[in-house]
Each structure stands twice: as structure tokens, then as C-alpha cells.
Amino acid sequence: MSSLLYAELAATCNALGYFDGNKYYIDTHCQETIKDLIRYLRRDDENHEIRRYIGESKILQADLLPILKDYWEKADLFDVILRLLVNLTNPALLLYREELPAEKTSRNYYLQIITHLQSYKEAFCDHTVWALLSKKLGGILQIDSMERDEDKGLVIERILILVRNVLQVPADPEAEKRTDNDASIHDQVLWALQQSGMIDLFLYIACSENEQQYYMHILEIVSLMLREQNPTELADAAITRSIEEKERDEAELIAIRQEEIRQRQAKLKKFTGARHSRFAGTYVLKDMKSISDNDIIYHKPWNKVDSLDFDQDKARQKRPKNRLPMKSEGSQRRSAFSIRLFLREFCVEFLNGAYNTLMYHVKDGLVRAKAQANDESYYMWAMKFFMEFNRNYKFQVKLVSETMSVQTFHYVQTQLENCYDMLSSDKKKMLLWSRRMHLALKAYKELLMTLTAMDKSDNSAICESSKIIKNNIFYVVEYRELILTLFLNFDEIKFTKSYLKDLVETAHIFLKLLEHFCSNRNIVVQKRAVSRRHKSRKSNVTAQEAVPIQRPEELWDEVGPQISTVLQNSWNIPTDVIPFDAASDRNMDEQKVDAMCKIQTLLRNQQFEEAIGLLRAAREVWPENDYFGNANMAPEEEFMAVRDIFMANIQNPDEDQTRAAAEAVQVNEEEEDEEE
């Protein structure tokens, strides 16, 4: 930084005002001075010298936050201060375009910016600042969304971005030196947000359908709030400590104490004066020559001769950095007891009032490419966290029904495949894509765990819903082979050990579900072999011609009342019919035609329950264009749909081939009879 720019920055910072210990007195040109700082940051160089200077000067702690506390009612001044706060708290990785600097000097600058951000986060532990921002945000939210101007919308977005920026600052455990069950700086910020009422405003925005444009911001904030929490432990948090929690804490303390004793004993053995005696004996190893071509002399006890190793003092070959196994980064910790209690209540309220609506609109934005790139990670994290919390708290499928469907399985599988493709192509960001793929795998694992919990439910409707989902994921080849594909693609350079652990657990859950699904069946994918009765070679043609052929209209007049009775009394209709065979060589369209032909055949053979069961099952597999009707059709409409299928003139290609083969066999037999 040039001396001229340094002097100009120092003069600008000094022109903000002064603090006498009770109140901050702003300069007459304070607002223009803050705008100058924003302008300087916009023109910062690649080393971020201006940003680092402002961080070293502690302008945010000494000037900006006191100005915000005393002059927050001035709209223009509040707006420029908010803009500067958002700029100063931007994530350090975004400043370097999501790539860690490889050069030594740039890496030091990056770490310096991280240190400044951590000091900013500590300054935001003051609940007074959040109370003022909460009051400002609440006043704007009281205005109807259709009546707000653009400036009001920008203020809402900037406040949410400021909260996100403060929460995303990484923790420094070595500097904080906080143990579990102690309030870290992150916990103190969360407590300040709770005391100021900001958490309640987040819930209000998440529950309001008029604030859909801020749903993605809320999801990011929620993920950062709960990033250090274990959903299972959070669901078990209670006012009094449980017996299991007490036993776990005691076991951890005992393990730490034993480790300290072991290390102390190892040091004592290392530095004591006990010298090994060489008078126990010296041995000569036959047929093993030393450098002098004599038998090698062995000074250690003879029972340790098998451990003789000449390579123990050699320098091991160093593994290249780009070939080292990827390290796991676990950041979970147990927060203070009061923090866990209010976070549990927040999760319960979020599940009851906002989860389904918010996840629906967020996924819609992701599918329609309305969100920013790679925002799918927040969606995957929320799915995994809240479904696990719901499963361990008070399991209710209706609270997570939006993410418990076949479409969700398909979406997660698509994300897994996309992340692996990007992992192979974008090698500079291998760590980021590996983490995103791990998040998607955790979401897939939690989907399977929720299916397991649904199978154990006493509600028959929930068990039936689980059965329908399992029908799809076990019969479609892509779903069935996903776990195997992930195992084949595993590489310790690209994935962590925790990823492998989750993958093994996911495979175990998948196989258990498949075993339970197949427990009542002998054949799952293959077709059953149908025994056919062979007709006599000599058929009575005249008798066949004598049988009158009834028209479909006449047949319908006979079977119509019976079908109506079956539709009204639907308890005899089978529900485990599978119209689609994933192992078949025929494609989806051909199997759809086969299903229609089979329905007509069953109807004309007066097997009405099987026909209607097959019709309803095919309706779920092929819902497009209402080929088999729609799921919400009335009984009268379903009766007319059955009539149309019964009356239709459907050509079954399999029957045509069978008929042609039978005619060919009959011709050959007639030729053989003539030759005889």
C-alpha cells in the first residue's frame, strides 16, 4: 500500500467521529465518510490491503457498531452502515473466488482476513445490536409485501445476509479453548439472536408464503445456526440430564484420565535411568551375513529374533501431497445446555410450521435455476438434519412429507451423479465437490432410515406409503445399483473415511430394507413361469365354428353389474400388484401396452378383482396423460374407464406372435401327416 493511500485511509477512519465511553458523537460528514470506505473496498486490489487495514484498525468494533446503536433511527445513515457491515463480513473464501490461495503470501493474507472476521463475530455477541436490527426488520415485515418499495426489500435482504455472514465465520477452538457444554462464541451469537427476537422473525419469514423470495436466505441461516449440532442429541435434550448422557460424560472423563496416566507412565519409562543389560547373552544368526561377510551378531533376546528388521532406520518414501488421503473435518460439539434447549424448540416449531412449505419452494427454485449455483447443498443438509431430528423426537411422517417421496429419491440420486462428474472434471475444487457429495449421501441415508421408521409404524396408511416407495427404489435399476456404483467409484484421495463409513451404513440399511421387502415373496424381479396346457393335435374345427361369438356390448351387459359391485366393495381388490418389471428387456412403452392388454384379458376372463388391482397399480406407475385414468377420479369415472378398456379393440403383439407360431406348427404337422 502506498503511503498516500495509507494516509488517506487513516484520515477517512478518523473522520467518522469519537466515542466518550457512553455515547458516540458522529462527525458532520460521517455518512459521506462511510460511503468513501465502501468505495475504497470496491476498488481494493487482489491482496485486499484496504480490507486488512480496516480489520487491523478495528473500525467495526470501535466505530461502526457504536454508531449503529446510537443513530439507528436515521434511515440514510443506517442504510450506509448496513451496507458497509455486509461488505466487511463477507466470507473470505468468496473474496478468493472459492479457491484457497496456494501462494504463501496470499495464504497468509487469507488467514489474516479470517482472524479479522473472527474478531468481528466476537463483537456481534452483543444482543443490543441484534435487538436494533430485529426492531428494524420487524417494522418492515409489518408492511404488506405488495406495498413495500424496493429500498425496504433491500434492507430485509441485507439484514439477512449480515446474519448469514456473521454465523458462517469459522470457529477457532485453539483460541477460544472451550470445552463441550460451554458457550463458545458461536453459541453466544445464537443466544444474542434469541434474546433480541431475531429467531422469531426467521420463523415468521419461513412460515409466511408472502416472503418466498427470502426462503433461501432463511435456509442458509438455519443451516449455519445448527451446523455444530447433532440432531439426535438435540432431539434428546431435556430440562434434566438423562441417565445415558451422564454415563456418556463419565465414560469420556474416564477415557481422558486413563490416556493421561498412560502418557505419564510412558514418559517415566522413557527418561528413567534403567539401562538394558547386555549380559543376558549375545547370539549369532547362521546363514545371515553381515557387512564383513561373517555371521550377523544379534544383541537382543532370542525370542525377538523374528522382529529383526533392517529397514527400521531407513527414510520412508514420502507420499505426494496430491496423493494423500482426504482428511475428515468433523465440527460437531455439544453446546451449552440453554443453547441446546432453545435450538430444540426452534427445530420443533420449524418442523411444525415451515418445513414442508419452505422445502417445496426451495426445491422449485433449484429445479427452475432461480437460486445461486450449488445452493443444493443447503437443501440436502436441511433434509438430512430435520428428517433425523423428526425421527428421533416424535416421529410424524406428515411433518416431512414434502421430502419423503420417489421424486426426492430421484433428485438426491441426480445430485450424487452430478457431484461425482464435477469431482472428476473440476479437480481444483475437489474438496468442495467431495463435501457436497457427502451431504447428498447423508440425505440419501436419512431417506432410507425414515423408510425403516415408516415400516415400524402402527398406521397402515404409513406402511402402505412406505411400500409404494420401496416398490420403485427396488424395481428401478438405477435406484437399485446406486450403492454399488458409489462403492466402485470410491477413492481415498477424493473421499474421506467418514464418507466411506456413511456409505457402508447406507448399504447396510438398503440391504435390510430389501431383505424385509422380499421376506414374503419368492420372486421379486423375475417373471413367474406360467405352465401352459398343450392343446390336442387334432382339434374339432366344426365344434369351434359352432360356438357363437358374442359381441363386446353383449358381454358388457352381463359383466357390468358384477364390476360395479367389485368397485363398490374394494376390500377384495389386491394392492400388491406390480405392473412394471425392471429386469425385463421390454421398454416402458411396451410394458404399458402389455399392462393394458392384460387388464382387458382379465376383465373378459371375469377376473375382476385382479383386473382392477392391476389398473390401479398401473395408474401409479404411468400417471402421464391419464393413460390408465387419474388418481382422483370418482367411482363413476373409474367404472367408465373400465368399460372403455373392456370394449377396446387392443392388439397384443405377444398374442399375434404366439398365434403365428401356432399356425406355423400346425402347417408343419399337416405336411408331416401328408408325407406319412
Q: What is the CA radius of gyration of the chain?
A: 36
Indicate whether 655 pLDDT > 80.
no
Residue 461 shares a structural domain with residue 503: yes
Query: What would the mean pLDDT of 212-222 be, rounded to a whole number?
Result: 94
- For residue 627, the cross-strand partners are 629
* CB count in 10 Å sphere of residue 671: 10
Indicate whether 526 pLDDT > 90.
no
Distance CA 303, CA 301 (A): 5
% pLDDT > 90, the chain:
39
pLDDT attached to residue 312: 72
pLDDT attached to residue 140: 93
Indicate whether 356 pLDDT > 90.
yes
Of 74 and 322, more confident = 74
Cα of 193 vs its chain's centroid, Å: 26
Indicate whether 631 pLDDT > 80.
no
Of 169 and 374, more confident = 169
Quote the pTM value: 0.72
Residue 501 shares a structural domain with residue 584: no
- Of 392-396, 586-590, 663-667, the poorest mean pLDDT is in 663-667
**pLDDT band (50, 70, 90) for residue 547:** very low
- The answer to whether position 107 is within a domain reads yes
pLDDT attached to residue 590: 79
Indicate whether 276 pLDDT > 70.
no
**pLDDT band (50, 70, 90) for residue 542:** very low
> Residue 449's domain spans which residues?
404-524
Q: Could you give the residue ranges of the DSSP H alpha helices within 456-521?
A: 460-475, 477-480, 482-488, 497-517
DSSP letter string, 18-62? EE-SS-EEE-TTHHHHHHHHHHHHHT--TT-HHHHHHHHHTHIII
Q: What CATH number should be reported for the domain holding residue 214? A: 1.25.10
- The answer to whether position 181 is within a domain reads yes
Interval 404-433: pLDDT, tens: 988 999 999 999 999 999 988 888 888 889
Residue 385 shares a structural domain with residue 490: no
- The answer to whether position 84 is within a domain reads yes
pLDDT attached to residue 545: 44
- Of 151-160, 339-348, 463-472, 573-582, the poorest mean pLDDT is in 573-582
Residue 113 shares a structural domain with residue 41: yes
- Of 73-82, 458-467, 544-553, 595-604, the poorest mean pLDDT is in 544-553
Residue 519 shares a structural domain with residue 599: no
Indicate whether 543 pLDDT > 50.
no
- The answer to whether position 253 is within a domain reads no
pLDDT attached to residue 541: 45
Residue 574 shares a structural domain with residue 473: no
Q: Secondary structure of the chain: what % helix, strand, coil (to 5)?
A: 65, 5, 30
| Structural domain total, the chain | 3
Residue 135 shares a structural domain with residue 217: yes
Residue 149 shares a structural domain with residue 85: yes
Residue 137 shares a structural domain with residue 174: yes
Indicate whether 301 pLDDT > 80.
no
